[in-house]
Structure 1
Amino acid sequence: MQARNSANIKIIDVSHHNGVIDWKKVAADGVKGVFIKATEGVGYTDPKFKVNVQGAIAVGLKVGFYHYCRPETGNTAIKEAESFLAAVAGLAATLPYVLDVEGAAANIGAVKLTDWCQSWLETVEKRSGHRVMVYTGASFAKTNLGAKLAKWPLWVAHYDVNQPMTNSTWKRWSVFQYSSTGKVSGITGDVDMNEMDLGYWMELTGDAQNNPNPVVNPVNKQANEKTKEALKVLQSEQVIQSPAYWVENAFEGGTIRGDYAALLIQNMAKRLATPVPETPKPEQPKPKPEPEKPDKQPKSWTEIEKLTQAASVHVDVGGGGTGVLLKGGLLLTAKHVSKGRESVRIKTNSRDWYTAVLVSEHPGVEKDAVDLALYRIENAPANLPYLPVNTEQLITGQKLLTVQAEYTEWITRSGQLCQISTAKEPWEFDCSIPAQHGNSGGAAVNEYGEVIGVIVNLASMGIQKGSVRESVPGCEAVNLIYPAVVEWLKKNM
């Protein structure tokens, strides 16, 4: 792997986690291109995707789109490729479409994962006709991605080093993500910082003007006569600066890369072609655009803690447990907390007591139980606090919060989502909240103050800290957007 180089191009990557972005300030800060999150898994599109694409293109930035893959959930590569292609259809991109493979994807094993990635890349490349590339961590590439992927360019992440770790599949990187804590004008908080190899940038854009520090190398480089003549033609058409510039930057180890020079010529020649004018079609009436839904805005964790405490209740059955209040005077908890009782007594954070009557216990998935029970509070007051239920795709790494409602105190704990679904129980997810037995039946709450799951079991979680993976206390929770759970909630709420 090559080291960083001051001649390379400044690139960032963003998603909805970066909030509202002032793209004019980003461009003014020397950023030339941006990779924008489009999709994750099947059916999830980043809520800021199109807004970010439009904003970046409007200020002249080159854009590419990336897809965060979820093979560990059982999704096929074809389904995830189709989901990505549907989301990016009709949007112009200069930079590649990217497969982001990391984290829990390793759970399916290196051989299967390599084949899965190959299928996604080939499908997207063939159906879109657009360039594709692979994004991953340096350590992840070394351990989990095989030689079948070497034909596609690598975007590698390795923080706080000048030269990323080597691996047996790729000899060079095309993009290097060297920090996740960078600062760029127009973006609040940390942002991922990358540099794109200058030669790769020129291959994609034909833009020699964005090389502020042309490489000067004393090695004597000689191109063959056909290459020189072709480059002179392009210079005469004012497409490139000079043959010398392109020869200077199209070499490796002192030898001209003929394939590289030929590719540059091919890409530049496309700009010389005169398009055939199309016969204008009769103007069709434009459909009325659907009003855009306002983007959800994250809440402060202080506010989320207050809301979760207000909506969390102590379920006074046996050893007790926790439940969460939903809209309409409903109480959601775990079956093993309410123990099948037709009615339970609950205590709120404001120290009020209510009786809740059983509405339904989840029937399970085939022969397997799903640990959920739904109750309705008798004579519930109209101002009873509650939390909304999440309806969007879960994202690994997102911060979560829960409250354990004891008889006399309400205890807050936090962690992050580690794995979406498990092989044996796909309706559950794992998180690193250090839960206790009293957390059973309580809500796992996201950055929007929404209930994404109900805690049902204690477990140890493996999390990655830098290059070290360690085991920490955590828990399992029922995923409230799992289809069988969504259907049950809609039927009974």
Structure 2
Amino acid sequence: MSMKGIDISNHQAGIDLARVPFDFVICKATEGTGFVDRYCDGFIQTALGLGRKTGVYHYATGKSSGREEAAYFYRQIKGYVGTSLLALDWEGRAVERGPAYALEFLDSLRELTGVKALIYMSKSVCRTYDWSAVAGGDYGLWCAQYADSDPTGYQESPWTDEKGMGAFPAMAVYQYSSTGRLDGYSGNLDLNIAYMDEAAWDRYASPGKAGGEPSVPPAVKPGNAGKLKVDGSFGPATVRRTQEYFGTVADGIVSFQPMSNKKYLHSAYEGCWQFLKTGYGPGSEMVRDMQRAFGAAVDGWAGRDTVLHMQAFLGVARDGSMGPKTVSAWQSWLNSH
């Protein structure tokens, strides 16, 4: 499940959104503590009129404090809260202020709105700084990395390197080009893919109204419709297929797993299993469904008890370790059901 979209600002003044294909648009609303993008509201109202998903972002300058910038952003966009996804644009000179400033913004905005905003940054910034406090706060990542500067249209599976994103286990939205070209507009556009469906987008925008906060979706491509590869790795494709089998949101992520249980999950792919260093969180709905199916204690946290019941269910050796043999048996089971 994924959606295609663009992010725009006053630099795209004059764009006719009715002529441009997109599932979502994220618009610049403010910058620092003194700039409002006068085109933002027109863009948002047009997109809403077209029945598309919307988001608004704040471009941080780092010249005051995270709390002050969050308050300024909120004063300008509070009319969008509950309908539009919120995001912090972390680039330029603001990067020098470090993750603590960004976290202050995100926490302050959450206090004001009840919403966890995404944070936008380049993949290199993800890896240069310690973002563990932000990632641990379950703030979703909107990540940018470009393969090249060649003009391109929307891509189903855009390139990204395999070096990871620092402390972030996954990304919710991926900006893969700043030279996008789409029908209906002659200039360059930033192109994005959101690893979620419309329901998940609504949970980011309004968690209280839309059935709870979403787990952060990963940077994985939609799974193939064919058989799973039986490779013993509980990675994105196997997670997504498991979610599809149980009817949970198929976002490819196993959320809120305690780091202390990782030793029992040797074949859990770290790019999509979200291990928390501190706290336990609400656990994973997919894990709860697996526990019910296997007859294990239902708490949403995959640990030794879950693995032992999984192995008994599959008829493999019960050693309490979810290794390649156990996962291969589960992949084979899914392929036959």
- Considering the TM-score relative to the shorter chain, is it more than 0.5? yes
Q: Aligned residue pairs: how many?
A: 222
What is the DSSP-based 3-state SS (H/G/I as helix, E as strand, rest coil) of the residue aligned with 1:64? strand
The equivalent residue for 1:179 is: 177
Deviations along 1:66-119, whole A, 9 cap, x unmatched?
000011x2x1111100110011021255452111111212333xxxx2111111
1:168 aligned onto 2:166: yes
Larger Rg: 1
Distance in 2 (CA, whole Å) between partners of 1:124 and 1:248 is 26
The equivalent residue for 1:155 is: 142
* Cα separation, partners in 2 of 1:260 and 1:133, compared to 1, 3 Å: farther
Contact 2:195 2:251 in 1 (8 A): no
What is the DSSP-based 3-state SS (H/G/I as helix, E as strand, rest coil) of the residue aligned with 1:79? helix
Distance in 1 (CA, whole Å) between partners of 2:2 and 2:89 is 22
Deviation at 1:261, TM superposition (A): 4.9
1:204 aligned onto 2:198: no
Contact 2:81 2:113 in 1 (8 A): no
Q: Could you say which structure has the higher strand fraction? A: 1
Contact 2:147 2:160 in 1 (8 A): no
Equivalent residue runs for 1:434-445 within 5 Å? none
RMSD over equivalenced CA pairs, Å: 3.2
Distance in 2 (CA, whole Å) between partners of 1:262 and 1:132 is 26
Distance in 1 (CA, whole Å) between partners of 2:89 and 2:78 is 19
Distance in 2 (CA, whole Å) between partners of 1:90 and 1:99 is 17
The equivalent residue for 1:249 is: 250
Deviation at 1:47, TM superposition (A): 1.6
The equivalent residue for 2:29 is: 38
**For 2:225, which of 209, 216, 219 is the aligned residue?**
216
Distance in 1 (CA, whole Å) between partners of 2:91 and 2:249 is 36
**For 2:109, which of 124, 138, 146 is the aligned residue?**
124
Q: Give 2:112's aligned amino acid.
A: R
What is the DSSP-based 3-state SS (H/G/I as helix, E as strand, rest coil) of the residue aligned with 1:84? helix
Equivalent residue runs for 1:441-456 within 5 Å? none
Contact 1:18 1:187 in 2 (8 A): no
**For 1:61, which of 48, 52, 64 is the aligned residue?**
52
Equivalent residue runs for 1:338-377 within 5 Å? none
Equivalent residue runs for 1:223-242 within 5 Å? none
Deviations along 1:116-157, whole A, 9 cap, x unmatched?
111100111121112311100111221135211112111111
Deviation at 1:187, TM superposition (A): 2.9
The equivalent residue for 2:154 is: none
Structure 2 unmatched ranges of 5 or more: 149-158, 204-209, 211-221, 230-242, 254-267, 275-282, 289-337
Distance in 1 (CA, whole Å) between partners of 2:188 and 2:139 is 29
What is the DSSP-based 3-state SS (H/G/I as helix, E as strand, rest coil) of the residue aligned with 1:192? strand
Deviation at 1:10, TM superposition (A): 0.4
Deviation at 1:183, TM superposition (A): 1.2
Q: Give 2:284's aligned amino acid.
A: D
* Cα separation, partners in 2 of 1:125 and 1:260, compared to 1, 3 Å: farther
Deviation at 1:245, TM superposition (A): 7.7
Distance in 1 (CA, whole Å) between partners of 2:285 and 2:102 is 26
What is the DSSP-based 3-state SS (H/G/I as helix, E as strand, rest coil) of the residue aligned with 1:249? coil
Deviations along 1:283-314, whole A, 9 cap, x unmatched?
xxxxxxxxxxxxxxxxxxxxxxxxxxxxxxxx
Q: Give 2:65's aligned amino acid.
A: T
| TM-score between both structures, scaled by the size of structure 1 | 0.41
**For 1:259, which of 278, 284, 306 is the aligned residue?**
284
* Cα separation, partners in 2 of 1:160 and 1:49, compared to 1, 3 Å: same
The equivalent residue for 1:107 is: 96
The equivalent residue for 2:193 is: 195
Contact 1:215 1:248 in 2 (8 A): no
Q: Give 2:247's aligned amino acid.
A: W
Q: Give 1:203's aligned amino acid.
A: A
Contact 1:182 1:192 in 2 (8 A): yes
1:16 aligned onto 2:17: no
Contact 1:18 1:188 in 2 (8 A): no
Distance in 1 (CA, whole Å) between partners of 2:7 and 2:34 is 21
Deviation at 1:216, TM superposition (A): 2.6
Contact 2:146 2:160 in 1 (8 A): no
The equivalent residue for 1:431 is: none
Distance in 2 (CA, whole Å) between partners of 1:246 and 1:170 is 26
Distance in 1 (CA, whole Å) between partners of 2:57 and 2:195 is 18
| TM-score between both structures, scaled by the size of structure 2 | 0.58
* Cα separation, partners in 2 of 1:95 and 1:245, compared to 1, 3 Å: farther
Contact 2:7 2:27 in 1 (8 A): yes
Distance in 2 (CA, whole Å) between partners of 1:178 and 1:127 is 31
The sequence identity of aligned pairs, in percent, is 25
Deviations along 1:30-56, whole A, 9 cap, x unmatched?
x10011100000021112111111111
Deviations along 1:394-450, whole A, 9 cap, x unmatched?
xxxxxxxxxxxxxxxxxxxxxxxxxxxxxxxxxxxxxxxxxxxxxxxxxxxxxxxxx
The equivalent residue for 1:334 is: none
Contact 1:250 1:260 in 2 (8 A): no
Deviation at 1:214, TM superposition (A): 7.0
